[in-house]
């Protein structure tokens, strides 16, 4: 996706071109370290089976599996590697692992980019407004354990009703769902034939039971932001640590990503600086815990349907940096 959604002129075209350059070395580093970490935690689960010590590697294994979705997201944008084919292969592989087939997810995600925060047009807003109860259910991720397989089965049967999936795209989604379903059935059949619990123990169970871990990133990005067309106003970034940024493929710089989605994830820190810090601005930014406290407090008072559509109702929006803040932000991004 090469479109620019941020205000024109905020980033020099030559700078943006440089920050959109792909690096196979940086891409492979992320892929190898993420899959390597999954292999390490998987070994940890195996080594501690039958003991209380299994809980820690099992939970970390599931969290790493869930955050693979950040990789699928980047492969959909084709920004990880220079080769479009390599981006597609890894995108499809991860889509199978996280139960979110690549074509449907890409179509939904591109609709999210083109119509960010527009009800029913944004691929992520094809849902009812949150109540406190529905938000907490979404936060747990429990319903997704049933929704994702159900979506795949429904699509395999030809049931695709999302308005952003039309024409030939629907045929692609149906075919992909049927192939994915056949692969999952083959894995189940092989597990039964071999009397093996490996697929359940090292894949589906940790993926399903730690879905909440990835939801803390999904929900912070736009919930509580205004439903207008200004990317700098309707998207939130996240203040966190280096480990979380690595695991989420730098998607915490989410406002910069939405404004300029052609930039690879490994250049988002520099892009954030060019778009915001260099212009004396700070996008809406919260910590994971701070956001959850604020949104739950707001929804306890009234549901999302009664919150203002044209205003920030969780945290603060885009702000101007004071001179001292700008200098500190400049040093931090150096």
Q: What is the tens place of the pLDDT at every residue in 37-93? A: 999 999 999 999 999 999 999 999 999 999 999 999 999 999 999 999 999 999 999
> Which of 100, 110, 209, 195 is closest to 155 using CA atoms?
100
Are 90 and 208 in a shared domain?
yes
Are 15 and 26 in a shared domain?
no
Sites in the chain below the pLDDT cut of 70: 1, 324-334
Q: What is the tens place of the pLDDT at every residue in 272-295? A: 999 999 999 999 999 999 999 999
What is the rounded distance in angstroms from the CA atom of residue 322 to the CA atom of residue 334?
Answer: 18
Q: Which of 213, 230, 258 is the last residue of a domain?
A: 213
> Which of 301, 314, 312 is closest to 132 using CA atoms?
301
Q: How far is CA 105 from CA 120, 131, 233, 281, in A?
A: 16, 25, 24, 32
Could you list the residue range(s) of the whole structural domain that residue 271 is in? 1-20+221-334
What is the rounded distance in angstroms from the CA atom of residue 138 to the CA atom of residue 268?
Answer: 28
Cβ(126)–Cβ(120) below 8 Å: yes
Are 249 and 160 in a shared domain?
no
The confidence score (pLDDT) of residue 326 equals 56
The confidence score (pLDDT) of residue 334 equals 46
Q: Which of 192, 213, 234 is the last residue of a domain?
A: 213
Are 203 and 69 in a shared domain?
yes
Are 130 and 176 in a shared domain?
yes
Domain count, the chain: 2
Are 315 and 239 in a shared domain?
yes
Q: Which of 178, 213, 248 is the last residue of a domain?
A: 213
- Between vectors from CA 5 to CA 289 and to CA 250, what angle results, nearest 5°? 40
The confidence score (pLDDT) of residue 148 equals 83
Q: What is the pTM of this model?
A: 0.93
What is the rounded distance in angstroms from the CA atom of residue 233 to the CA atom of residue 17?
Answer: 24
């Amino acid at each position: 996706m090469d479109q620019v959604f941020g205000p024109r002129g905020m980033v020099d075209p030559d700078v943006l071109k440089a920050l959109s350059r792909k690096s196979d070395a940086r891409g492979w580093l992320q892929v190898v370290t993420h899959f390597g970490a999954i292999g390490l935690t998987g070994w940890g689960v195996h080594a501690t089976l039958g003991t209380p010590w299994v809980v820690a590697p099992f939970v970390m294994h599931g969290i790493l599996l869930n955050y693979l979705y950040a990789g699928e997201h980047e492969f959909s944008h084709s920004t990880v590697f220079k080769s479009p084919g390599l981006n597609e292969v890894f995108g499809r592989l991860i889509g199978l692992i996280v139960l979110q087939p690549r074509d449907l997810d890409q179509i939904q995600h591109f609709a999210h980019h083109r119509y960010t925060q527009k009800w029913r047009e944004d691929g992520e807003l094809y849902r009812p407004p949150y109540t406190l109860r529905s938000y907490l259910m979404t936060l747990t991720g429990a319903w997704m354990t049933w929704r994702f397989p159900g979506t795949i089965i429904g699509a395999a049967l030809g049931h695709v009703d999302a308005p952003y999936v039309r024409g030939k795209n629907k045929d692609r989604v149906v075919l992909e769902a049927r192939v994915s379903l056949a692969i999952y059935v083959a894995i189940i059949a092989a597990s039964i034939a071999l009397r093996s619990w490996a697929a359940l123990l090292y894949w589906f169970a940790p993926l399903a039971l730690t879905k909440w871990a990835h939801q803390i990133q999904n929900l912070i990005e736009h919930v509580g932001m205004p439903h207008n067309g200004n990317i700098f106003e309707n998207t939130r970034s996240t203040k966190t640590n280096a480990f979380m940024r690595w695991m989420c493929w730098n998607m915490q710089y989410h406002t910069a990503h939405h404004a300029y989605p052609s930039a690879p994830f490994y250049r988002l820190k520099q892009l954030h600086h060019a778009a915001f810090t260099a212009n004396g601005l700070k996008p809406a930014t919260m910590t994971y815990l701070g956001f959850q406290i604020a949104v739950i407090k707001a929804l306890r008072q009234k549901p999302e349907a009664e919150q203002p559509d044209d205003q920030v109702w969780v945290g603060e929006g885009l702000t101007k940096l004071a001179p001292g803040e700008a200098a500190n932000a400049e040093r931090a991004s150096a």
